[in-house]
């Protein structure tokens, strides 16, 4: 049959196919960039540049709808807008039509549009806007602008196709942006706090409010502090069609410390509700501001104390050096105890920490017998218990009159004074002066209270450093796990990495990922764990792993020091990464199973066709040949009739041979009847090149035999058609455990085989991967080709 297709139609189809290939490669390039990009790569700008390349490098801007009537410019590599610019629009404008309808729109002459003023400002004559739809909502849009006239008619279709292709990538972009926002927030807070000691409160406030104004959803920010410090910052905003009325709400975040109002952080937003991450960042920022103000006030107080008392001057300087250099807090606390002892004429000084409701720890001592690190239980009514309950200074002139803690009885302590130490409005411990000989002087309380205030500043700074270190460790651990998820690492590797990371950063005695309905190890299957021997009495913290809204399993830890609430909060980001990994693995597994079903259906069709031809048409041809032979050999047949019968017999025999070759090409009967070894022998028998083989395999599942057969067949075909080989070797064997079939085919041809060039080896790679197997093709130039395939006997074990 001749090809009657119109040449124009054929060229159109070829151009469409070429364009589709270009678009698919563009999507692949962008997807690879996102998967492997570091935190400093602007992924959105890369997508916009690729979109521009799709339409002959016309300028493209990507904007995101962040409010009812507001756009945020995400990327505009060629202008005219700058990233971060907020654009307010009115009804009837191009953004409004796209947001309301979810459809692309074109403007061929902006002079007739409500947003003509914006077009004049940016030098735009015409434009096209194409929506970006993410999970059924208009997330943003691509803007293509022209300064000279209407855009080409195919612009909408080209950018719409590209937008549909990259839609799935925006979830990854948002996830990356959230991780980057958290990391940048932590880094900004750490930097501001580290620089606060050498800066004025106005300078620090300016940095804080400038950062607040840049958060997602914030229009402007103002920080007002007691004492007259007021600083403000705002984002650049442009209005389309003279839109001057904006529904802006003001939200206040109080800045407090020690139950006292220090100031207020006020932010403006046009959103009905701030994004959750923004709210968390603002709350954290207000807390940091309070700590900085307290630290600043404490520095002023220390300055006064330096002028008044030489001993406190030495301690204040020592504490400041320790804070600035992140030195050991134990040295600072011991120095404070020593200075307090000096002021109290050598009295015994101990700094106690209330570890639990009934347990105290001596964190620093000087001048007495109590060693640092001693941990004891205090009974009700003892000195430390009364300080803990009343949160006030307590004096005991004779310990014989009270229930005494073990520490008092062991070291012969006769009297004492305890002053509470508070850290950010919570009782942390007590500063205690004791005597082994009699009552303490009456001025002991007043002097100890001054040292207690100095102590809380040193401890607060030490705890702040520890919090920063902990956050940095957790962000590093999250980044490592996120990289594993992005590289599509196996679930087992991701699970093991998560439990190892959380056990380390949370200092947990055990950690586990449990597959099941949740609620403990007895409610599901443990798929990964570390340190399975949890300490007795340890706290247990668990969070669910939610995949597509359903409970896939549980991530849990046990720890002596981690509270359940804090543990759940710190586990949540790891559980989210696990959910993403499981979701990705499910999608990949679904695609692989779908490919396997398609290949299995094709193989079954081959077997059915081979059986039908062999049992139907081929049998009839054989019968016809027999009848023709009988007719030829019959007596009384004339010469002309005999010639006709001979010719018919010859044609029938040739048709039978051709049909047998066709059947063998579909699927050889030897394979379906006798297995892989017989099928490969039939291949070798019909190969124009000698084939040596070693076939040590029993009967295997049908799909394994079929895959192994086509592996050998395709390798032989490649050697015959392309490699100019003179010898081929084929071997088939099972692994020692019998769980995999290993097929190896080698030839002595010219080499240079490349599956990516679209040869039959490409389909072979697809078939092997669909069976959850692996294939390796080694084909150096002029050194022959070696194909090694490993095919699992039970593919379910490989998932």
Going from N- to C-terminal start, the domains of the chain cover 7-167, 177-300, 309-467, 671-798
Residue 173: Cβ-neighbour burial (10 angstroms; 0-12, 13-18, 19+): middle
Tell me what the mean pLDDT of segment 286-296 comes to. Answer: 76
Tell me what the mean pLDDT of segment 90-99 comes to. Answer: 87
Of 131-135, 420-424, 450-454, where does mean pLDDT reach its minimum?
450-454
Quote the strand ranges of 157-236, DSSP E.
Answer: 220-225, 229-234
Backbone angles phi, psi at 107, to 5 degrees: -125, 115
Of 260-269, 429-438, 474-483, 518-527, where does mean pLDDT reach its minimum?
518-527
What's the pLDDT band for 303 if we cut at 50, 70, 90? Answer: very low
Total number of residues shown for the chain: 799
Residue with tokens 């004074």: 417
More confident residue, 242 or 352: 352
Superfamily of domain 7-167: GAF domain (3.30.450.40)
State the alpha helices, DSSP H only, in 139-168. Answer: 155-166
Q: Which of 32-36, 276-280, 402-406 has the highest mean pLDDT?
A: 276-280
More confident residue, 375 or 740: 740
What's the pLDDT band for 460 if we cut at 50, 70, 90? Answer: low
Q: With CA atoms as reference, report the closest residue to 742 among 703, 716, 774, 765.
A: 774
Please say if the pLDDT value at position 710 is more than 60: yes
Of 180-189, 299-308, 493-502, 684-693, where does mean pLDDT reach its minimum?
299-308
Of 261-275, 372-386, 521-535, where does mean pLDDT reach its minimum?
521-535
599: left (phi over 0), alpha (psi -120 to 50) or beta: alpha
Tell me what the mean pLDDT of segment 397-416 comes to. Answer: 79
Please say if the pLDDT value at position 648 is more than 50: yes
d(CA 9, CA 15): 10
Class of the CATH-defined domain 309-467: alpha beta
The two tokens of residue 614 are 């062999």
pLDDT at 39: 46
Identical topology for domains 309-467 and 671-798: no
Please say if the pLDDT value at position 305 is more than 50: no
Cα-based distances in Å from 692 to 715, 716, 732, 747, 748: 13, 11, 12, 10, 12
Beta bridge partners of 365: 350
Please say if the pLDDT value at position 661 is more than 90: no
- Is residue 556 within 8 A of residue 511, CB to CB? The reply is yes
pLDDT tens digit sequence for 611-647: 656 666 666 777 777 777 777 777 566 667 777 777 7
Q: What pTM was computed for the model? A: 0.35
- Is residue 542 within 8 A of residue 555, CB to CB? The reply is yes
Tell me what the mean pLDDT of segment 104-129 comes to. Answer: 86
CATH number of 671-798: 3.30.565.10
Rounded to the nearest 5 degrees, what angle is found at the Cα of 147, between the Cα atoms of 144 and 148? 115
Tell me what the mean pLDDT of segment 448-477 comes to. Answer: 70
Tell me what the mean pLDDT of segment 319-332 comes to. Answer: 51
Cα-based distances in Å from 478 to 69, 578, 772: 36, 11, 30
Tell me what the mean pLDDT of segment 178-183 comes to. Answer: 70
Please say if the pLDDT value at position 23 is more than 70: no
Tell me what the mean pLDDT of segment 113-121 comes to. Answer: 81
Please say if the pLDDT value at position 533 is more than 60: no
Please say if the pLDDT value at position 698 is more than 70: yes
pLDDT at 174: 64
pLDDT at 786: 93
Rounded to the nearest 5 degrees, what angle is found at the Cα of 485, between the Cα atoms of 483 and 490? 120
pLDDT at 246: 58
- 3-state secondary structure (DSSP) of residue 372: coil
- Is residue 73 within 8 A of residue 83, CB to CB? The reply is yes
pLDDT at 742: 94
What's the pLDDT band for 395 if we cut at 50, 70, 90? Answer: very high
In CATH, the architecture of 177-300 is 2-Layer Sandwich (3.30)
Tell me what the mean pLDDT of segment 670-684 comes to. Answer: 83
d(CA 323, CA 468): 13
d(CA 467, CA 340): 28
pLDDT at 116: 81
Tell me what the mean pLDDT of segment 532-547 comes to. Answer: 70
């Amino acid at each position: 049959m001749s090809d009657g297709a119109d040449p124009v139609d054929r060229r159109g189809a070829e151009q469409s196919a070429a364009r589709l290939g270009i678009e698919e490669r563009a999507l692949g390039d962008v997807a690879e960039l996102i998967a492997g990009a570091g935190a400093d790569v602007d992924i959105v700008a890369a997508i916009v540049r690729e979109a521009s390349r799709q339409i002959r490098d016309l300028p493209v801007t990507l904007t995101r709808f962040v409010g009812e009537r507001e756009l945020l410019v995400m990327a505009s590599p060629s202008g005219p807008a700058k990233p971060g610019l907020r654009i307010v629009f009115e009804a009837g404008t191009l953004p409004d039509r796209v947001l309301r309808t979810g459809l692309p729109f074109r403007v061929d002459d902006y002079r007739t549009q409500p947003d003509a003023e914006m077009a004049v400002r940016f030098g735009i004559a015409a434009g096209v806007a194409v929506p970006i739809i993410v999970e059924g909502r208009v997330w943003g849009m691509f803007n293509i602008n022209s300064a000279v006239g209407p855009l080409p008619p195919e612009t909408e279709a080209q950018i719409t196709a590209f937008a549909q292709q990259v839609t799935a990538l925006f979830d990854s972009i948002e996830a990356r942006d959230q991780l980057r926002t958290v990391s940048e927030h932590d880094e900004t807070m750490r930097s501001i706090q580290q620089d606060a000691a050498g800066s004025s409160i106005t300078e620090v406030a300016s940095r804080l409010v400038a950062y607040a104004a840049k958060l997602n959803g914030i229009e402007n920010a103002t920080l007002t502090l007691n004492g007259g410090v007021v600083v403000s910052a705002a984002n650049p905003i442009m209005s389309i069609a003279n839109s001057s009325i904006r529904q802006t709400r003001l939200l206040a975040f109080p800045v407090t410390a020690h139950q006292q109002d220090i100031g207020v952080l006020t932010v403006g937003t046009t959103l009905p509700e701030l994004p959750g991450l923004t709210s968390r960042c603002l709350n954290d920022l207000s807390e940091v501001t309070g700590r900085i103000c307290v630290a600043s006030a404490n520095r002023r107080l220390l300055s006064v104390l330096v002028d008044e008392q030489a001993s406190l001057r030495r301690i204040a300087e020592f504490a400041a050096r320790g804070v600035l250099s992140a030195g050991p807090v134990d040295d600072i606390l011991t120095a404070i105890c020593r200075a307090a002892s000096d002021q109290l004429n050598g009295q015994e000084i101990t700094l106690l920490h209330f570890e639990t409701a009934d347990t105290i720890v001596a964190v620093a001592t000087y001048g007495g017998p109590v060693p640092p690190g001693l941990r004891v239980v205090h009974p009700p009514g003892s000195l430390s218990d009364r300080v803990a309950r009343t949160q006030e200074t307590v004096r005991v002139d004779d310990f014989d009159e009270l229930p005494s803690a073990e520490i008092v009885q062991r070291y012969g302590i006769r009297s004492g004074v305890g002053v509470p130490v508070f850290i950010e409005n919570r009782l942390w411990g007590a500063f205690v002066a004791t005597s082994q000989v009699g009552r303490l002087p009456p001025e002991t309380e007043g002097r100890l209270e001054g040292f207690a205030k100095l102590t809380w500043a040193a401890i607060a700074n030490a705890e702040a450093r520890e919090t920063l270190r902990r956050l940095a460790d957790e962000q590093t651990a999250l980044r490592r796990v996120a990289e594993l998820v992005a590289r599509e690492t196996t679930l087992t590797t991701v699970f093991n990495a998560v439990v190892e990371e959380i056990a380390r950063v949370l200092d947990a005695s055990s950690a586990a990922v449990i597959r099941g309905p949740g609620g403990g190890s007895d409610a599901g299957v443990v798929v990964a764990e570390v340190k399975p021997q949890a300490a007795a009495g340890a706290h247990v913290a668990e969070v669910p792993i939610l995949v597509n809204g359903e409970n896939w399993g549980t991530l849990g830890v046990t720890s002596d020091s981690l509270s359940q609430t804090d543990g759940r909060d710190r586990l949540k980001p790891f559980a989210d990464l696990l959910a993403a990994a499981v979701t990705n693995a499910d999608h990949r597994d679904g695609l692989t199973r779908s490919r396997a079903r398609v290949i299995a259906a094709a193989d079954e069709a081959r077997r059915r066709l081979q059986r039908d031809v062999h049992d139907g048409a081929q049998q009839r041809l054989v019968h016809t040949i027999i009848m023709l032979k009988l007719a030829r050999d019959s007596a009384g047949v004339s010469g002309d009739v005999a010639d006709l019968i001979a010719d018919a017999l010859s044609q029938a025999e040739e048709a039978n041979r051709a049909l047998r070759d066709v059947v063998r090409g579909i699927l050889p009967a030897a394979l379906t009847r006798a297995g892989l070894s017989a099928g490969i022998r039939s291949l070798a028998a019909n190969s124009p090149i000698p084939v040596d083989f070693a076939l040590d395999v029993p009967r295997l599942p049908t799909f394994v035999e079929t895959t192994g057969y086509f592996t050998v067949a395709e390798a032989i075909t490649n050697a015959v058609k392309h490699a100019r080989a003179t010898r081929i070797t084929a071997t088939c064997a099972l692994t020692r455990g019998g769980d995999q079939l290993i097929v190896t085919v080698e030839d002595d041809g010219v080499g240079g085989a490349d599956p990516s060039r679209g040869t039959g080896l490409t389909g072979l790679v697809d078939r092997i991967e669909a069976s959850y197997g692996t294939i390796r093709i080694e084909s150096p130039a002029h050194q022959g080709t070696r194909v090694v395939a490993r095919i699992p006997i039970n593919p379910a074990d490989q998932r």
